Amino acid sequence: MLKMQQKSVLTAAAILGSLFALRCWQAQALQQSPPRPTATTLTVQPDQVRTSGDLVFMTGRTAENIRVQGIYRLRSPAEKQAYQQIYRKQRWMVTGTYERLQPATNEGEFDYARYQGQQQHIFYQLQAETIDRQTNLPYQLGDGIHWLRAAVQHYCRQLPPRLADHARQLLLGDRSESDREYQQELGQLGIIHLFSLSGLHVYSLIAGLYGITTVLKIPREWCRTALLVLLPVGCVLAGAGTGLRRAVLFSWFGLLCQCLQIRTARLDRFSIVLIGELFLNPYLLFSFGGVLSYLMAGGLIYCTHRSEWQRLWFLTALNLPICLLMRSEWHLLTLLLNLVAAPLFVHLIVPLTLIGAAVFPILPSLSQLIEWFFTVLMQQLSWLAQVPQFNFVFGQPEVWLVLLLLGATLHLNQQFNQKRRRHAWVRLGCYYFIALISIRWLPFGKVVFFDIGQGDSILIEMPFKRGAVLIDTGGKLSFQQEKWQERTASNRVETITLPYLKKEGIRSLDAVILSHQDADHIGDLAVLLKRFPVREVVYGQGLEQNPQFQRKMAPFLDRVQLHPVLAGSQLRYAGQKFDILAPSRPGLGTNEDSVVVHFQMGTKRWLLTGDLDRDGEQKLLQQPFAVDYLKAGHHGSHTASDPAALKKWHPEKILISVGRKNRYGHPHPDVLATYHTLGIPFETTAQRGMITWYDGYRSHFTYYLKKEPPA
C-alpha cells in the first residue's frame, strides 16, 4: 500500500513538473519575443485611464488582444476633464507609434520594462498623437468592477489630499496619484504595506465579521458562504496586488474546506496557492512584492511554535536579506514600527480612512479633522525616515550570500537548545559580516558614467569605499506651464544615482563638484542634497552670484559647505587628489566657465571638461598634463573637441555622456569624424548605458548594455 502511494506521488510530481516546464518555456518565449502590436483600435476600461498634468496614461488591449500601455498629450483643460470622467468601457481609434518599453540602462536602476513584461505581460507603449473616442461599449461580465473602481477614483479626487491617498491605497490598491516622496519614506521605514489592503487586513476583516455574526447570532455557515463571494470581489476591487491576492486565496481555500468539511493544514493551503500562482505566472517570485509576501507568509507558518515576540524577530531576520538584495538599506526602527504600527493601522488608520471618506459630503469638518491627523502622522513618519542615524546603508549582497543568510536564519529558528542557538546566532552574524566586507572592502577604485540621458553625472569611488565624489547630478530642462499642465516628474537622482550609491554601500558623498549652471548638469542638485548626505559642494568661483544657484542652495546652507574654486586649486578626498585646471577667473557658470577636473587613479589619468568650448580647450594646452581617458566636452557637440587639443592629448579612449535621440544631434558627426581621423576610440552612454572603469592590477571598462537597446 505504501509503495502504491509513493508511486502515485511520484507520478503526480512528474506530471506537475512536466506541466511547469512547459509553462515556463511558454513564459520565457513570450519574454524573449513578444508579439508586436499594429492595430489602431484600443479597448480601455474606465479605471485604466489616468491623467497627470497634461498627459493621459492608459492601459488597454489592441484588436489583436495584446495588452499595451499608452500615453497621450492633452491640448486643453476641457479635454483633460473629459478624460477624468470616463465611466464606461470604450473603444478608441488611435494614431501613433508603438515602441518597446525601454529596459534599465544602469546598475541598481529599477527595470520597469522587465517588471511590466514579467508581471503584467506588457511590452509595448503606444505614443498616441490623436485619439478618437468612440461610443461606449455594451456591458460584459466583469465590467461592473471596473466601473466601481473608476467611480471610487473619481470620488477620492474630491477628498482632502492625505485622506484621498489613504482611501485610494486602501480601497483600490492604487498609488499612482500618491505623494511619491512620502511613498519612498514609507518604503524606507518598511511599513508601506500597512497603507494598502494586505494579509493583515484580510485576516482582521474575517475575524471581525465572525465576531459580529457571533454577537448577532447569525449562523457561521452563512458568514462563510458570504465570504466565499465577497473575498474574490473585494480582492479585484482593491487591485488584486500580490500580497492581497495571496491572503484572499489562502483564506478562500480555508473557508471552502470548512464548508466541505475537509481538514487541511495551513502549509498545504499555502503550497496550493503558491503552486497555482507560479503556474499562472512563473515570474511571480522575480518581483520584490512577490518574494517578500510569500516568504513572510511561509515564515509565519514555519514559526507557529514560537511566541509572538520570537515570531516578530524571526520574520524580521527573514525579511532582512531580501530587503538588502532589493533596497540595499535597512531602517533600524523597522522592527519596532511594525510591532507598534500594525495594530494601530488595523484598529485606527483603516476605520478613520473609511469614516473620513464616507462622511465627507455631509460632515466635511470631520473629514478635515481626520486629514489633520494624517498630516501630523505623515510629518512624524517623514522625520523618522530622514534621521540618518536610523538608516543603515548596507549595500547589495550577492544572490548566493542572500540564500546563505536565509538558510542560516531558518536553521536558527530550529535551534531550541540554548548553546546551539547561541552558536547559530554567531554563525549568522559571521555571514552578515562576510556580506558587508564583500561590498565595502574592495581594493580598487571606480569611475562611473551614469546613463542619465542628455546630461552629465560621473561618480569617482575610492578604493575600499574610503570616499566618493560626484561630478554633476544631471537634470532636465523645465519650461513654464499653465496650472492644469503641471505634474510631478521623476528625476534621475532618485531613479538612478541614489539606488546605485546605496547598492555600492556608499553612505555619503565627500563632495559634489558642479561643472557649471546648466540644468542638464546640476538640475537635480536640490533633490540629491535633500535625499543624501553630502559634505561639500564645489563650484567655479562666481557661480554663487547666480540667482538661480542661490535659490537652489538656500535650504541646505546649514548642512553643506560651499567651496568655490579656480584654476590651480587642489582638492583631496580620502587620499585622492583632484586638480582644477579651469576656470581661470570668476564667472557666472556658463559653458565657458566650466570647472575642468584632472585626476589620476592608479596609473590612468582622467580629464573631465564639463561643457568647455574649443577656446577653453586650447587654453588648457598651455598647462603640462597627460590624458589617458577623456570625457568629451559638451556631449560631443561641434563647439568642443578641438582637433589640436585632441591631437596633443591623444587619449586612449573618449567617453561621451549623451541622450538617445536627443534634440541637439549630439554627438555631432564632424566630431566623430575627428575621433576616427585621429584613431581615438570612443563610447557613448546612449549605446552602452552605464560605463564603469575599474582600477586595479588589470584596469578595464565594463558596459551595462552590450548593444543599443531596442527601439
Of the listed ranges 237-246, 515-524, 616-625, the one predicted with least confidence: 237-246
Superfamily holding 41-141: Nucleic acid-binding proteins (2.40.50.140)
Is 648 a residue whose pLDDT tops 70?
yes
Q: 57: helix, coil or strand? A: strand
User: Can you tell me the mean pLDDT for 649-673?
Assistant: 93
215 or 537, higher pLDDT: 537
Is 385 a residue whose pLDDT tops 90?
no
H/E segment holding residue 447: strand 446-449
pLDDT score, position 538? 96
Strand order from edge to edge, sheet including 570-573: 570-573, 576-582, 596-601, 604-608, 629-631, 653-656, 682-684
In CATH, which of 3.40.640.10, 3.40.50.300, 3.60.15.10, 3.20.20.100 is domain 446-479+490-703? 3.60.15.10
- Using DSSP bridges, classify how beta strands 124-136 and 629-631 pair: parallel, antiparallel or unpaired: unpaired
Is 711 a residue whose pLDDT tops 50?
no
pLDDT score, position 707? 60
Q: What is the pLDDT of residues 158-184, one digit of tens each?
A: 999 989 988 888 888 888 777 777 777
Provide long-range contacts, Cβ within 8 A and 24+ apart, for 74-78.
74/485, 77/484
Is 135 a residue whose pLDDT tops 60?
yes
Q: Residue 71: beta bridge partners?
A: 57, 127
Asked if residues 196 and 169 have their Cβ atoms less than 8 Å apart, the reply is yes
Q: What is the pLDDT of residues 18-37, one digit of tens each?
A: 888 898 898 888 888 898 89
178 or 522, higher pLDDT: 522
User: Can you tell me the mean pLDDT for 640-649?
Assistant: 93
Confidence (pTM): 0.91
pLDDT score, position 249? 92
**In the chain, what's the furthest Cα-to-Cα distance?**
94
Percentage of the chain beyond pLDDT 70 is: 97
Whether the bond between 443 and the residue before it is cis, its omega within 30 degrees of 0, is no
pLDDT score, position 68? 94
User: Can you tell me the mean pLDDT for 386-403?
Assistant: 88
322 to 136, 316, 330, 402, 409: CA distances (angstroms): 45, 10, 10, 7, 12
pLDDT score, position 239? 84
Q: What is the pLDDT of residues 211-246, one digit of tens each?
A: 888 888 888 888 888 889 888 988 888 888 888 899
DSSP 283: T
pLDDT score, position 709? 46
pLDDT score, position 416? 64
User: Can you tell me the mean pLDDT for 480-508?
Assistant: 88
Question: Which residue type occupies 348?
Answer: L
Of the listed ranges 105-119, 225-239, 302-316, 490-504, the one predicted with least confidence: 302-316
Contacts of 417 (CB under 8 A, 6+ apart): none
Asked if residues 92 and 44 have their Cβ atoms less than 8 Å apart, the reply is yes
Integer Cα distance of 306 and 421 in angstroms? 14
Asked if residues 177 and 50 have their Cβ atoms less than 8 Å apart, the reply is yes
Of the listed ranges 350-364, 522-536, 695-709, the one predicted with least confidence: 695-709
Is 687 a residue whose pLDDT tops 50?
yes
Is 2 a residue whose pLDDT tops 60?
no
Asked if residues 168 and 174 have their Cβ atoms less than 8 Å apart, the reply is yes
Is 55 a residue whose pLDDT tops 50?
yes
- Using DSSP bridges, classify how beta strands 124-136 and 446-449 pair: parallel, antiparallel or unpaired: unpaired
pLDDT band per the 50, 70, 90 thresholds, residue 586: very high
Q: Residue 448: beta bridge partners?
A: 459, 692
> What does the mean pLDDT of the chain come to?
88
Is 260 a residue whose pLDDT tops 60?
yes
Segment of 14-23, 161-170, 298-307, 497-506 carrying the highest mean pLDDT: 497-506
Question: Which residue type occupies 182?
Answer: Y
pLDDT band per the 50, 70, 90 thresholds, residue 196: low
Integer Cα distance of 577 and 600 in angstroms? 8
pLDDT score, position 417? 65
